[in-house]
Amino acid sequence: MAGEAHRKRLRALLRLAGVRVAGDLTLVEQAFVHESHAKEQGGSSNERLEFLGDSVLGVITAEWLFAHFPDEPEGRLTLRKAAIVNDAQLAESARRLGFAEVVQLGTGMRNAGGANNTSILADAFEAFVAALFLRYGIERAKTFVCDEHIGRLDHDPEALIDAKTRLQHYAQEHLSATPAYREESRGTPQAPHFDSCVVIAGETLGTGSGPSKKAAQQAAAEAALRTLLAAEPRSKRRKK
C-alpha cells in the first residue's frame, strides 16, 4: 500500500487515538518502516521509535494496572504487565487493527510473509505508540493503548500468557534467575507420559506431569508460580 491510500489508513489509526487533525504524518509513517524496507529504499526504519515505544507502553500499562488492581501486590502486577506487553499480545492487537497492511517491508521480507510476523507487528505497535507520544502527546498514546489493546484483553493471567512465560518473567524480575526444566519420560509411544521439574537458582520450585514434554513443563511452571506467589515476601528479599 502506498501514497494516499497508505496515509488514509494511518489517519484512521490516529482517529482511534483521538487524533482528529493529523497534520504532518512523517513520524507516523516512520513507525511502520521495517529495517528491511529502509535498507532497500533508504531512509530511517522504526527501530529507534520501537525503543522509545517499549518504555512508553510500559509506563501506560503500569499506570493502568496500578489503578485497576489496587489490592494486588507487586509480584502479581509484574506478571500482569508482562502478559500485556509481550510480543504475542501486541501482535494480535496489531493484526486486528490492520498493521499488516500498512507496515513497509523489503521485497524479500514481504515475500517471506513478514507482514504477519509476530515480532515485526509487535515492533510496529511499539513504534506507533512512540510516534503518538512524540507527535500528539502522552494522552493520545494512552487513549490508543488502553482502548485498543489493554481494554480488549482477558485479564485472567492464565488467559493472557502461558505459565512458562509468566514464570520466566517473574523469575528474571524478582530473582535475577532463569528457570531450568528437567524431564523424565515414561509410558509407551502410544501413551506417552512425561514428568518435569523446574529449578530456579538451584531450588526445585515446581513439578508437573503430562502427555507431552510441553504439557509437563507447563504444569511444573504453574506449580512454581503458586509456590513463588505464596511466599512473595521471601522472593522479594531474594531479589534484593
Catalytic residue list: 54, 126
* C-alpha span between 16 and 29 (Å, rounded): 16
* C-alpha span between 130 and 138 (Å, rounded): 9
* C-alpha span between 121 and 94 (Å, rounded): 6
* C-alpha span between 23 and 33 (Å, rounded): 19
Cell of 125: 505497535
* C-alpha span between 210 and 146 (Å, rounded): 37
User: How, if at all, do strands 203-210 and 192-200 pair?
Assistant: antiparallel
139 Rama class: left (phi>0) / alpha (psi -120 to 50) / beta: alpha
C-alpha neighbours within 13 Å on the C-beta side of residue 83: 22
